[in-house]
Amino acid sequence: MVLLELFWSFCKVGFSSFGGLSMVPLINDEMLSHGWMTLTEVSDILAIAEITPGPLGLNCATFAGTRVAGVLGAVCASLGVLSPTLLLCSLAAVAFEKFRESSFMKKIMSGIRPICLGLILGVLVSLSTTNYLAADGSLSLAAIAVGIAAAVALLKCKLSIPKTILLSAALGLLLVR
């Protein structure tokens, strides 16, 4: 029964919050109202979840589920917090597939594509200024060389992204220090 309660509690958290810190009061309330944890334990779980890579809600669910009911509790709580996202994404995929050929959807997508491209280019420009300028404001030729090498490795040599990252890190250590 506790596994179902964990699933349902974290399902409610997933449906009624918008991720991140907005989940904290809901998680706190669920843990305390069921008597699964004390306020101090919830605080500890939140601290651990914050410093662990990954989404806060999923980390909290995993840690709280483990604390309450072991590995099965972690699985149930994690599935609970992920269920709303999975459900909403599935519904969006079905709707997209159903209306893919409609003229309205085509118009929406023709407006969204340039927006996405503009956002990506904006990030590229802002990151370029921080990555290719030295502390004194001058161009860093070594950093530009690493960037060009990475682009060639990805586009011409078809090197995988992890290998390109390792190559870039090695070149950065050698050339930029």
- Average pLDDT score over the chain: 90
Residues 27/93, Cβ–Cβ less than 8 Å: no
Residues 23/45, Cβ–Cβ less than 8 Å: no
Cα angle, residue 166 at apex, residues 156 and 53 outer, rounded to 5°: 120
Quick one: tokens of 142? Answer: 């070594």
Token look-up 């959807």 returns 105
pTM of this prediction? 0.61
Mean pLDDT of 161-168: 92
Residues 64/37, Cβ–Cβ less than 8 Å: yes
* Residues 84-94: tens digit of each pLDDT: 999 999 999 99
Quick one: tokens of 118? Answer: 């503009």
Mean pLDDT of 149-154: 95
- Per the DSSP assignment, residues forming a β-bridge with 139 are 133
* Residues 93-117: tens digit of each pLDDT: 998 888 888 898 888 888 999 999 9
* Residues 2-59: tens digit of each pLDDT: 999 999 999 999 988 877 788 889 999 999 999 999 989 999 988 888 888 888 899 9
Q: Is 139 helix (H, G, I), strand (E, B) or coil?
A: strand
